[in-house]
Structure 1
Amino acid sequence: MRSAPLPGSSLPHAVFFDMDGLLVDSEPVHAAAYVVAFERAGLALHPDEYRTHVTLGGGSIRDLYAAKGGSAAGWPELFECKCELFAKQVREEMELLPGVSELLQALADRGIPCLLATGSGRANATVILERFGLRPYFAAVLSGEDVSRAKPDPEIFLKAASLIGASPAGCVSLEDSPKGVRAATGAGISCIAVPTSWTRTGDFTGAALVVHSLQQVTPLLLEEIVHKHLARS
């Protein structure tokens, strides 16, 4: 595992990437898969419910399932069904969002560690990373199963920074959702928000910058963000 640049360096100590909505436009695919899985379990779920409760609100899909009368015994089968549907869509139809490959390569060329910090499950992360050959770009991969508290809690970012011995103030996070921005800033990490059509109506207060695409994000921009953050610290 690559360690972070020396504390005196002007480079970011590390860059943390979200996955759903940042690397791939997968939030609507998650929602669609859950809609089908809920239907097969005899329950109704609208994509907007998923978007409001989970994507924007940071709530748990399992809590939403329980609120609709789903039984604890029925959850494993429903979740397995959803994961199979999601993986099929990833392998057959999903594409990387613009700028992902270029930014990861530019950071790798400069020796800046990248870590994946996703609230999604490990199986979802694995299928996406394998589908697009992205795993070698990440010094570490943290999923929702690696923490006890989901975003907007900062736990996943604090754990990621600790893994490579990086100071949170010297890191930058890239997120597409308000809950991700809150999690990063709660850990003392500067965050660039890259909203999608699924999240752009959210409140991105606290983000150091809001951009339309990762194509606008460069190593120089990340360095400037870190420099400004450290100057205020």
Structure 2
Amino acid sequence: MLLPLPDGEFKAYLFDCDGTITDSMPAHHRAWLTALGEWGGDFPEELFYAWGGRTVVDVITDLNARQGLSMPVAEVAARREELFQAMLPEITAVPGVMEHISQAYGRVPFAVVSGSTRESVTASLTALDLLDRFPVLVCAEDYARPKPDPEGYLLAAGLLGVDPRDCVVFEDTELGVAAARAAGMACVRVPAPWER
């Protein structure tokens, strides 16, 4: 099922990674539950999806505050990444997005704008044999203000040399859609796994 594009001629396609290019959100949630559980933390599925697009550091910090814990942020983040990477062989691409990548590759430039680390994004795209399609990766460590702030998307447009108004964004989270709109970009909302 090809997701419909908004009207217009777009000079660049910008993609979130997890849940947008890669159907990885269920695996991410399992990795979170295991990593947090080792420290007595929890991350209910509804909250996990509501917080989609937030950085790992922000999530752990806020879960600590909500749950009265003092989980070590760097250790939990590293453990979550280790667990997620072990699941990469089971990750697949999101079909409607993959069709756009196949149809537009070589015709317009692509970038990834993700709240995940470069390590995680690179591993996910490599597992799907897609890394070479994305010359620009804007990841959590590349910008100061996470989604819904437009900084990441504006940075990607600048790196591609394309006016933000000429970009279309593919996003699966409300924070990501808000970031794209704040950047002045058109947006395609990618359905969540249970909506497909």
Q: TM-score range by the shorter chain?
A: 0.7 to 0.9
Match of 1:69 in 2: 68
Match of 1:98 in 2: 95
Q: Given that residues 32 and 47 in structure 1 are in contact (C-alpha distance below 8 angstroms), is that contact kept between their aligned partners in structure 2?
A: no
Q: Given that residues 23 and 193 in structure 2 are in contact (C-alpha distance below 8 angstroms), is that contact kept between their aligned partners in structure 1?
A: no
Q: 2:116 aligns with which of 114, 120, 123?
A: 120
- Runs of at least 5 residues in structure 1 that lack an aligned partner in the other structure: 1-9, 201-211, 213-233
What SS class does the counterpart of residue 169 from structure 2 fall into? strand
Q: Distance in 1 between matches of 2:60 and 2:92?
A: 27
The code of the aligned residue for 1:30 comes to H
Match of 2:44 in 1: 46
Deviations 1:118-169 (A, max 9, x none): 1111111011111111111112011111111111110001101111221111
Match of 2:170 in 1: 174
Q: Given that residues 24 and 92 in structure 2 are in contact (C-alpha distance below 8 angstroms), is that contact kept between their aligned partners in structure 1?
A: no
CA 1:38–1:169 in 2, change beyond 3 Å: closer, same or farther? same
Q: 1:157 aligns with which of 153, 159, 173?
A: 153
Q: Which has the larger radius of gyration?
A: 1
Higher relative contact order (CA 8 A, sep 6+): 2
Q: Given that residues 28 and 47 in structure 1 are in contact (C-alpha distance below 8 angstroms), is that contact kept between their aligned partners in structure 2?
A: no
Q: CA deviation at 1:173?
A: 0.6
Deviations 1:51-76 (A, max 9, x none): 23x128x583122232123336x222
Moved over 3 A (4+): 99-102
Q: CA deviation at 1:105?
A: 2.6
What SS class does the counterpart of residue 105 from structure 2 fall into? helix
Q: Distance in 2 between matches of 1:84 and 1:197?
A: 23
**TM-score normalised by the chain length of structure 2:** 0.86
Q: Check if 1:80 corresponds to 2:75.
A: no
Q: CA deviation at 1:49?
A: 2.7
Q: Given that residues 172 and 189 in structure 1 are in contact (C-alpha distance below 8 angstroms), is that contact kept between their aligned partners in structure 2?
A: yes
**TM-score normalised by the chain length of structure 1:** 0.73
Q: Given that residues 61 and 73 in structure 2 are in contact (C-alpha distance below 8 angstroms), is that contact kept between their aligned partners in structure 1?
A: no
Q: Given that residues 37 and 82 in structure 1 are in contact (C-alpha distance below 8 angstroms), is that contact kept between their aligned partners in structure 2?
A: yes
Q: How many residues align?
A: 186
What SS class does the counterpart of residue 115 from structure 1 fall into? strand
**Percent sequence identity over matched residues?**
33
Q: CA deviation at 1:28?
A: 2.3
Q: Distance in 1 between matches of 2:31 and 2:180?
A: 28
What does 1:127-142 align with in structure 2 at a 5 Å threshold? 127-142=123-138
Q: CA deviation at 1:197?
A: 3.5
